[in-house]
Amino acid sequence: MTATACVDCGEAWAYDRVRCPSCGGRDFESRTLGEGELVATTVSRVTPPGVREPNPLGIARFGDVQVTAQLADADLAAGDDVVLAGDHELRAGERGPRLERT
Amino acid sequence: MTRFSADAGEDVRALLERAAERALDDADVPAPDLDAVVVGNMAAEAFEKLSGLHNALAASLGAFGAQADRVENTSASGASAFQRGVQAVASGAADTVLVAGGERMSAASTETATGVIGSIVHPEEYAHGVTLPSFGGLAADAYLRRYDAPYEALAAVSSKNHGNGARNEYAQFQTAVSVENAADSPLVADPLRLYDCCPTSDGAAAVVLRAGDEGDVAVRACESAVGTHAVADRDDPLEIESVRTAGEHAFDAAGWSRADVDVACIHDAFTVLELLELEELGFYDVGTAWRAAMDGDTALDGSLPVNPGGGLKARGHPLGATGVSQLVELVWQLRGEADGRQVECETGLAVNVAGFGNNAVCTLLEAA
C-alpha cells in the first residue's frame, strides 16, 4: 500500500479521496509509507463472518499518515516500530498487507 | 417512548406509532394539526425490508397533508431528525412538527445486523475486518495508556449507567452492575469488555416541536457537524472532531458556557466514548474525565450528572431512536418527571453520534 500526496500543497493521506483535504486540489502522486510506529492496538474477539477470530488490529502512524490494519502478531503494542507488508487474506475476498515488526 | 428491549416482538412501524401517539397525547396535539412529520431511522430496509416509514406513520396517525420524510445519519438518525424538525420550525416552514425515531434491530440475523453496522465503516478499514467495538478498543487502549488510567475508570462508567438504568422503567437493562462484575466480563476488543459495549435494541421515541414559547422546554441550540470517515484519518485516535465542532456551534448559538449545563446525555456506545465526548465537549480537560467518573462527579448526585436514564449502555441503542430518547429523558428531567432518578436541573445537553464519530448532533434544552 502507498500513501497519496497532493502535488500542489504537499498534504498526504492514506485512503483514497477525490480532493486534497487541505487545498482541494486534484493532482496527486504516490508516496511510500516506509517505517512507522504503532499508536494503539486491540484484539477484536467478536469478528464478522469471513474474518479471523481473534483479530489483532492496530493504528500506526507513518509520518503524516495513519492507517488502521491487522497486526501480524498479537504481541505488537503501541510504541513498536512497524511496516505495512505482506500479502495476507484479511477477510474472505480481500487480500492485503498487515502491520509487522521492522 | 417505548421501553427499549432486545426483541420488541413487533415491527418498527408499530413501535413508531406507539411512541408518536404518546408524544401527541402528552403535547395534546391532534395529528391533523401537524405540519410536518420527520422519522429518524437508519436501516429499516436492511433489518426488516421496510421503506417509506414516514408515510406509513403520518397516514396511520391521520396527519394527512403534512410534509413528511425520513432522515438517515446512521446512529445519529434520531437527533438529525430532530434537527430537521427544529430547522423547519425556525425557518417558519412549519409550526407543529412530530419527530419520531425508531429501529428494530432484532428482525435480522446477528450476521445481517453486524453487516448493517459494519457498512458505515470506511472501505479500507472494513477490509481489515474492523468492527465498531474494535474502534472502541483502539481508543480505550490509547486513552488508558496515555493518561495512566485504570480499566476500572471504564467499569465505573458502565456501573453508573446501569445503576441509572435500573431506575428507568423504559430502559432495556434494569439491573445494577458492580465495577467488579463489569471488570470480570469477557473481553470483546481489548481492553473493552462485554459491559463496556452497548447492546442492539428495538424501540422508538418521539417528541412534538412547536413554534412560539408555550411549551415547557425550549430548544436553545441544535447543531451538527461531520468529522472524518476513516478513524485513521484523525490526527489523533482520541479525537472526535465532529463532537467538538457540533458542541462549539451549539454553545455559540445558545450563548452558553459549559458551566451552564446541569445534566447531559452523552453517546456512550462504548464506555470510553462517554469520557472522550465529555472532554471534546469541553466539560473536562483532556485526559481528566476518567478521574471525574471514578470520583462520582458524573453520578446522579454529582456535579454534572451524565446519562441519568442509563445511556446507550443500559437504556439501549435502537439506532434511529437513540437520539430522540436522549431528548425525551432530558424533557422528563427538566419537567421534574424523572421518577427515581431526578436530578436538579434547568438546562440539559444531548450529543448523539454517528458511527465512531463520523458526525455528531449537539442539542441544548432549557426549562421554559
Give the residue extent of every domain in chain A. 1-32, 34-101
Between vectors from CA B143 to CA B137 and to CA B144, what angle results, nearest 5°?
90
Which residue is closest to B186 within chain A, CA to CA?
A: A45
- pLDDT confidence of residue B142: 97
Grid cell listed for B358: 463520523
Percent composition of chain B: helix, strand, coil (DSSP 3-state, to 5):
40, 20, 40
Q: Which residues of B touch A44 (CB under 8 A)?
A: 129-131, 133-134, 137, 188-189
Interface of B to A at Cβ within 8 Å reads 111, 114-115, 118, 122, 124-125, 127-131, 133-134, 137-142, 145, 186-192, 230-234, 237
Between vectors from CA A47 to CA B191 and to CA B351, what angle results, nearest 5°?
60
Q: Give the whole-angstrom CA distance, residue A27 versus residue B74.
A: 32
Q: Give the whole-angstrom CA distance, residue B340 versus residue A88.
A: 54
Q: Does A7 touch chain B (CB under 8 A)?
A: no
**Is the separation of the CB atoms in B33 and B24 below 8 Å?**
no
Q: How many CB atoms neighbour CB B14 within 10 A?
A: 16
Closest to B367 (Cα-Cα) out of B340, B348, B339 = B348
Select from A41, A58, A90 the Cβ nearest to the Cβ of B127: A90
Low-confidence winner among B5-19, B115-129, B276-290 (lowest mean pLDDT): B115-129
- pLDDT confidence of residue B214: 86
Tell me if A41 and B124 make a contact (CB, 8 A cut-off).
no
For residue A6, report the phi and psi dihedrals to the nearest 5 degrees.
-80, 125
- Report the amino acid identity of residue B261: V
B70 pLDDT above the threshold of 90: yes
B220 pLDDT above the threshold of 90: yes
Confidence label for B93 from pLDDT (cuts 50, 70 and 90) = very high
Q: Does A57 touch chain B (CB under 8 A)?
A: yes
B33 pLDDT above the threshold of 90: yes
Select from B122, B131, B192 the Cβ nearest to the Cβ of A15: B122
Q: Which residues of A touch B128 (CB under 8 A)?
A: 55, 57, 68-70, 90-91, 96
Closest to B196 (Cα-Cα) out of B268, B132, B116 = B268
Strand order of the β-sheet with B36-40 is: B67-71, B36-40, B96-104, B202-210
Confidence label for B27 from pLDDT (cuts 50, 70 and 90) = very high
Q: Is A85 helix (H, G, I), strand (E, B) or coil?
A: strand
Q: Does A90 touch chain B (CB under 8 A)?
A: yes
Select from A41, A68, A96 the Cβ nearest to the Cβ of B130: A68
Smallest Cα distance from A73 to chain B, Å: 14
Low-confidence winner among A37-41, A77-81, B43-47, B225-229 (lowest mean pLDDT): B225-229
Confidence label for B245 from pLDDT (cuts 50, 70 and 90) = very high
Inter-chain Cβ pairs, chain A and chain B, closer than 8 A: 108
Tell me if B129 and A52 make a contact (CB, 8 A cut-off).
yes
3-state SS of B164-187 is: HHCCCCCCCCCCCCCHHHHHCCCE
- pLDDT confidence of residue B112: 85
**Is the separation of the CB atoms in B200 and B332 below 8 Å?**
no
H/E segment holding residue B47: helix B44-48
- pLDDT confidence of residue B262: 98
Q: At what angle do helices B241-254 and B271-280 cross, to 10 degrees?
A: 50
Which residue is closest to B229 within chain A, CA to CA?
A: A15
- pLDDT confidence of residue B67: 98
- pLDDT confidence of residue A38: 98
Which residue is closest to B143 within chain A, CA to CA?
A: A40
Tell me if B127 and A51 make a contact (CB, 8 A cut-off).
no
Cα diameter, chain A: 43
pLDDT digits (tens, 9 = 90+) for B122-181: 999 999 999 999 999 999 999 999 999 999 999 999 999 999 999 999 999 999 999 999
**Is the separation of the CB atoms in A2 and A30 below 8 Å?**
yes
Do the interacting molecules here have an ipTM over 0.90? yes
pLDDT digits (tens, 9 = 90+) for B106-134: 999 888 888 888 888 999 999 999 999 99
- pLDDT confidence of residue B228: 86
B23 pLDDT above the threshold of 90: yes
Which residue is closest to A53 within chain B, CA to CA?
A: B129
Dihedral, B11, B14, B16, B18 alpha carbons, nearest 10: -140
- pLDDT confidence of residue B110: 82
Task: Give the list of residues 6+ apart from residue B312 with CB closer than 8 angstroms, or none.
Answer: B198, B267, B268, B269, B322
Tell me if A41 and B233 make a contact (CB, 8 A cut-off).
no
- Report the amino acid identity of residue B269: A
CB-side exposure of A95: number of CA atoms within 13 Å? 3
Handedness of CA B312, B315, B320, B323 (dihedral sign): negative
- pLDDT confidence of residue A82: 98
Smallest Cα distance from B160 to chain A, Å: 25
Q: Which residues of B touch A93 (CB under 8 A)?
A: none
Please report the domains of chain B, with CATH numbers, ordered by start residue: 12-109+201-207 (3.40.47.10)
The DSSP line for A31-70 is EE---EEEEEEEEE-S--TTS-SSEEEEEEEETTEEEEEE
Q: Give the whole-angstrom CA distance, residue B176 versus residue B158.
A: 10
Tell me if B137 and A13 make a contact (CB, 8 A cut-off).
no
| Average confidence (pLDDT) over B206-219 | 95
- pLDDT confidence of residue B269: 97
| Average confidence (pLDDT) over B222-249 | 94
pLDDT digits (tens, 9 = 90+) for B332-368: 999 999 999 999 999 999 999 999 999 999 999 999 9
Tell me if A44 and B230 make a contact (CB, 8 A cut-off).
no
- pLDDT confidence of residue B118: 85
B310 pLDDT above the threshold of 90: yes
**Mean pLDDT value across chain B:** 97
- Most B CBs within 10 Å, among A13, A33, A42, A89, to test the B interface: A42
- pLDDT confidence of residue B234: 87
Q: Which residues of A touch B191 (CB under 8 A)?
A: 42
Q: Does A15 touch chain B (CB under 8 A)?
A: yes
pLDDT digits (tens, 9 = 90+) for A48-93: 889 999 999 999 999 999 999 999 999 999 999 999 999 999 999 9
Tell me if A46 and B133 make a contact (CB, 8 A cut-off).
yes
